[in-house]
Amino acid sequence: MPQEHSPTFQAMIAATEELVREKGCRRTTLQDIMDRTGLSKGAIYHYVKSKDELYGLILKTKMEEANRRFFQAAEAGGKALLPPLQTISDGLVRILDKKDVSNQIFVYLLSQQELPAIKQMLQDLYAQAVEMAVNWIRTGQREGVISAGLDARRAAELFVLITYGFRMRSMIEPASTDFGLDAFQELMQQMLQGQ
């Protein structure tokens, strides 16, 4: 059974998200996670070496879930790519949801980037996000709903830049997200119409 499907892993992730929601990233400790889940330090260390690595794992898990939803929608949608593209838009709405702790975690990890392990983690997460977006765009190109002339890598880099911007903006000015979502949806429509 892959680790992300084990009940222990799921309990650890869920408890950590709850604690971050309640206490924030800095004030949440491994002891808090152990107390909340009933897991031993060894059980947690089976999955991660530190609280910061656990935070990175939460972001990675959320990206993998978004990728799974995209390809599930693409498979179910046949040639029409609108359903999977809607999953991307829905993912941005989730990023802006106050119950989603990924923005807090993202900003916290950025504040720790002088640490080599965290810097590498952030670089790996960025590379994974870009590759995921490249695959989404190339899927749209194969299905004929995104222009074959669009440079998938450059568009993916722009997409990740926009989503990182949404993350930062939602932490600075949480009430002003509608304009950004509208602009993003317009950009998506232009990509689709540019075929």
Q: Along the 195 residues of the chain, how does pLDDT read in single tens digits?
A: 345 668 889 999 999 999 999 999 999 999 999 999 999 999 999 999 999 999 999 999 989 988 888 888 777 765 555 665 666 666 666 666 666 899 899 999 999 999 999 999 999 999 999 999 999 889 888 877 788 898 999 989 998 998 888 888 777 876 655 556 666 666 666 655 554
According to the model, what pLDDT value does residue 179 have? Answer: 58
According to the model, what pLDDT value does residue 81 have? Answer: 57
Task: Round to whole Å and give the CA distance between 77 and 54.
Answer: 34
The ranges assigned to domains in the chain are: 1-47, 52-193
- Identify the CA nearest to 130 among candidates 112, 154, 147: 154
According to the model, what pLDDT value does residue 61 have? Answer: 92
Burial of 41 (0-12, 13-18, 19+ CB in 10 A): exposed
According to the model, what pLDDT value does residue 168 have? Answer: 82
For the domain spanning 52-193, the CATH number is 1.10.357.10
Q: Do domains 1-47 and 52-193 have the same CATH topology?
A: no
Say what angle helices 102-111 and 51-77 make with each other, to 10 degrees: 130
Task: Round to whole Å and give the CA distance between 57 and 121.
Answer: 9
**1-47 architecture in CATH?**
Orthogonal Bundle (1.10)
According to the model, what pLDDT value does residue 100 have? Answer: 81
According to the model, what pLDDT value does residue 1 have? Answer: 37
According to the model, what pLDDT value does residue 76 have? Answer: 74
According to the model, what pLDDT value does residue 175 have? Answer: 61
